[in-house]
Amino acid sequence: MPTRPCNLDTKLTLAGLAKLAGVSASTASRALKDSPLIKLETRLRVQQLAQAHNYSVNTAASRLRTRKTHVVAVILNLIDNTEQSTTDPFLLKIVGDLNQALNARGYELLLSNSFMASDDWANYFIHSQRADGMIVVGQGKSTSKIDQAAASGVPVVVWGDAKTQAAYPIVGGDNFEGCRQATAHLLAGGCERVLFLGDPGHAEMQERHRGYLAAHAQAAIEPASDLTGSIDITSRAAYDYINQRIKQNGLDFDGIAGVSDMVALGALKALKERYVSIPGDVAIVGYDDIPLAELMHPALSTVRQDTQQAANFMVEQLLRQFDGQPWHSEVVDTRLIIRRSSSRARA
Amino acid sequence: MPTRPCNLDTKLTLAGLAKLAGVSASTASRALKDSPLIKLETRLRVQQLAQAHNYSVNTAASRLRTRKTHVVAVILNLIDNTEQSTTDPFLLKIVGDLNQALNARGYELLLSNSFMASDDWANYFIHSQRADGMIVVGQGKSTSKIDQAAASGVPVVVWGDAKTQAAYPIVGGDNFEGCRQATAHLLAGGCERVLFLGDPGHAEMQERHRGYLAAHAQAAIEPASDLTGSIDITSRAAYDYINQRIKQNGLDFDGIAGVSDMVALGALKALKERYVSIPGDVAIVGYDDIPLAELMHPALSTVRQDTQQAANFMVEQLLRQFDGQPWHSEVVDTRLIIRRSSSRARA
DNA sequence: AGTAAAAATGCAAACGATTGCAAAGTTTTT
DNA sequence: AAAAACTTTGCAATCGTTTGCATTTTTACT
């Protein structure tokens, strides 16, 4: 089959462009970035010549000289043994929003994940001039790699639980309050045994669990300790857990606070297969508001976090670090979305 | 709040490392990449010194000198007016798989999408030395930008319909056969009026539509022309379309071949809300096998394409172009997954 | 017109790694 | 022990842009 010649040899260089314009390379360089040092007329001439000849600066050279890459590494901090990566639309939604936010500020997005990059993030991404800073999505079960990177002085921002104290800004929803509201909503709907489904080993999830407990306290209900189902945050794990549990205990709960929509949906599936009525017998609330939540039948109640806002915050906090300005963690809007899966009172 | 000092000033350079090891920069450089030119003992000494001092090569300098970036730009070719981007898990699944495949070959992934990058992809990504090549996900409605880039001689691979003739390799599932099988399956299940939901303006979707027609031909059924619902490929559009259609015509179909799972799920929701029995009254098949397909109730039948295999193919075809080797398009495994949403004959 | 000030441009030295070729060092051969 | 052959290392140029400073050109003012 065909081969295609790569006629990249004739690549126009700044010096070449300068010659075309009859100026020096320095002038051309300045003209291209609209430096007021250069006469307007010259600027225009160079710029239009650049356009005409498809000139574009060699970013490798530029980065070498300026020591800035205008690239941000986005690292999906996946949990080792699960394959949350390819499965969870939420993570990828954040990536999409980050991409948008970064581009709006003139940065590009280098995608990576915790499996692939070497362990020494500071070295691999920053010292090697691959990127100017990094945004880590998810705190994972251990923040050691993040801490270590931050300790070595590189700009970092994390999506996670913003209440965690750390040497870097953390942006995230109000996990405590989000899950507290969700749980309170379930309890208000008459649930008496609400199952918490998630992995409290995780910073964010732990906060959600605390919210779950707080809601109970406020309602003066003692949550039985057997109502915390500690599982991997995948739909599969939730599905298996529910099946297992029902097989063993029967249906010993009447509400579920899921730590993600994927988890909630896994549980939902298991329940539906057993003809458990939703929300009649068991009311369910998820977390994240993935696009499919409202497509479910019944539509899934959930907690929505403003990821677009979050992405903008994260980028802003990262840029502040570039400039040596003070930074801070930030909580983004979090809102309980009530849909059919938890609406017991019928209209 | 806190500021953190960026002590990147003391960055160790190759020359510095060389001095530490008591050799020249050239020797150090060769030692680091295990060149047989260098005595084993020296190599080891340099390498371990590098390790000890956290040395990592400056990629900017390296790229400038070698004219290779070891970066591949992955461009999500989104359709203008829809927000398929953040909504469709399938695209992002591909990105994840590409990331994996690229990393396995020692390449990194620069994420972009058709909204953000400038229009002249060859210039922006390749001539500027941002990346060595590009992988475009989705042919979109027009391939002009891709064609243009390929014409200017840069390495490109596309995810799309592999049967399309083009100046670059296209990797994708067998859209014709996938949808033919899906439709045939619906017809075999007794459906007499199968609705095709999608946008035939799209290369891939058009092939699927052809498959849809072929299945009818094989079954000696004439598909009424009013059974092709041309809609944006989002769940919202499908949902609205079905509601609208039923309101206008009543339930004038008994099967749906959706062009993506998101579309199928949108339709499914509309039908369920109207208490249409699935698969009894209407049998449904989607496309893509997103993780949620099997979580639905009923579980959604769908067509699965091996995206991992596809990602590997794409990367390989791209690398072949780097080396000036001949390349070719490739069809990846495509398989109908039958679940409850289309299983009329009960066991 | 002559000088001072301002505006526009050019020079040349970085940035840090890579690599062809020459040089130095070591071993083998006669 | 000298020459030949081979191994190991270093020199120096190069990749293309950027930027502090010097230089030239233009404008302004007396």
Q: Where in chain B is the domain with CATH 3.40.50.2300?
A: 71-172+306-332, 175-305+337-342
The A residues from 280 to 339 touching B (CB cutoff 8 Å) are 291-292, 295-297, 299, 321, 324-328
Which of B3, B69, B87 is nearest residue A324 as measured by Cβ atoms?
B3
Across the interface, whether the CB atoms of A96 and B92 are under 8 A apart is answered yes
What mean pLDDT do residues A71-77 have?
A: 94
Burial (Cβ within 10 Å: 0-12, 13-18, ≥19) of residue A118: exposed
- pLDDT value at residue A4: 43
pLDDT digits (tens, 9 = 90+) for A215-232: 999 999 988 889 999 998
Q: Provide, as residue numbers in chain B, all residues whose Cβ is less than 8 Å from the Cβ of A266.
A: 295
Residue A288: how many CA atoms within 13 Å on its side-chain side? 23
In the predicted structure, residue A85 carries a pLDDT above the cut 60 = no
Is some CB atom of chain B closer than 8 A to the CB atom of A51? Answer: no
Could you tell me the two tokens for A272?
Answer: 């539906």
- pLDDT value at residue B40: 93
Across the interface, whether the CB atoms of A110 and B108 are under 8 A apart is answered yes
pLDDT digits (tens, 9 = 90+) for A260-309: 999 999 999 999 999 999 999 999 999 999 988 988 888 999 999 999 99
Q: Which nucleotide is nearest to B30 (CA to C1')?
A: C18
Q: Where in chain A is the domain with CATH 3.40.50.2300?
A: 71-173+306-333, 175-305+337-342
Q: Provide, as residue numbers in chain B, all residues whose Cβ is less than 8 Å from the Cβ of A71.
A: 110
Across the interface, whether the CB atoms of B59 and A100 are under 8 A apart is answered no
Is some CB atom of chain B closer than 8 A to the CB atom of A124? Answer: yes
In the predicted structure, residue A86 carries a pLDDT above the cut 70 = no
- Fold category of B175-305+337-342 in CATH: Rossmann fold (3.40.50)
Is some CB atom of chain A closer than 8 A to the CB atom of B90? Answer: no
- pLDDT value at residue A7: 43
pLDDT digits (tens, 9 = 90+) for A95-115: 989 999 999 999 999 999 887
Round to a whole number and report the distance in Å from the CA of A26 to the C1' of D21.
13
Residues 6+ apart with CB under 8 A from B196: B183, B208, B209, B212, B223, B227, B228, B229, B257, B259
Which of A103, A128, A295 is nearest residue B56 as measured by Cβ atoms?
A128
pLDDT digits (tens, 9 = 90+) for A250-263: 999 999 999 999 99
A328, containing H or E segment? none
- Fold category of B71-172+306-332 in CATH: Rossmann fold (3.40.50)
- pLDDT value at residue B87: 61
Is some CB atom of chain A closer than 8 A to the CB atom of B165? Answer: no
Which of B1, B60, B299 is nearest residue A129 as measured by Cβ atoms?
B60
Is some CB atom of chain A closer than 8 A to the CB atom of B112? Answer: yes
What mean pLDDT do residues A35-55 have?
A: 95
pLDDT digits (tens, 9 = 90+) for A133-189: 999 998 887 889 999 999 999 999 999 999 999 999 999 999 999 999 999 999 999
Furthest-apart CA pair in chain A: how many Å?
85
pLDDT digits (tens, 9 = 90+) for A6-25: 344 468 999 999 999 999 99
Q: Provide, as residue numbers in chain B, all residues whose Cβ is less than 8 Å from the Cβ of A116.
A: 99-100, 103
Q: How far apart are CA B21 and CA B4, in angstroms?
A: 32
pLDDT tens per residue across all 347 residues of chain B: 454 443 444 689 999 999 999 999 999 999 999 999 999 999 999 999 999 999 999 999 999 999 999 999 999 987 665 555 556 778 888 998 999 999 999 999 999 988 777 889 999 999 999 999 999 998 887 899 999 999 999 999 999 999 999 999 999 999 999 999 999 999 999 999 999 999 888 888 999 999 999 999 999 998 888 999 999 888 899 999 999 999 999 999 999 999 999 999 999 999 999 999 999 999 999 999 998 898 888 899 999 999 999 999 999 999 999 999 999 999 999 999 999 999 986 43
Q: Which residues in A165-174 are b (16+ Cβ under 10 Å) and which e?
A: ebebbbbbbb
Across the interface, whether the CB atoms of B291 and A113 are under 8 A apart is answered no
Q: CB closer than 7 A to strand D: which residues?
A: A 11, 13-15, 25-26, 29-30, 32-33, 55, 57-58, 61-62, 64-66; B 22-27, 30, 36-40, 42, 61, 64-65, 67
3-state SS record for A139-182: CCCCCHHHHHHHHCCCCEEEECCCCCCCCCCEEEECHHHHHHHH
- pLDDT value at residue A257: 97
Whole-prediction pTM: 0.91
Residues 6+ apart with CB under 8 A from A25: A14, A15, A18
> Chain-wide mean pLDDT for chain A?
91
- pLDDT value at residue B200: 83
Which of A86, A235, A265 is nearest residue B96 as measured by Cβ atoms?
A86
In the predicted structure, residue A79 carries a pLDDT above the cut 80 = no
- Fold category of A71-173+306-333 in CATH: Rossmann fold (3.40.50)
Across the interface, whether the CB atoms of A112 and B109 are under 8 A apart is answered yes
Is some CB atom of chain A closer than 8 A to the CB atom of B151? Answer: no
Q: How far apart are CA A291 and CA A304, in angstroms?
A: 11
CA distance B164 to chain A (A): 14
Phi, psi for B127 (deg, rounded to 5): -60, -30
Residues 6+ apart with CB under 8 A from B49: B17, B20, B21, B55
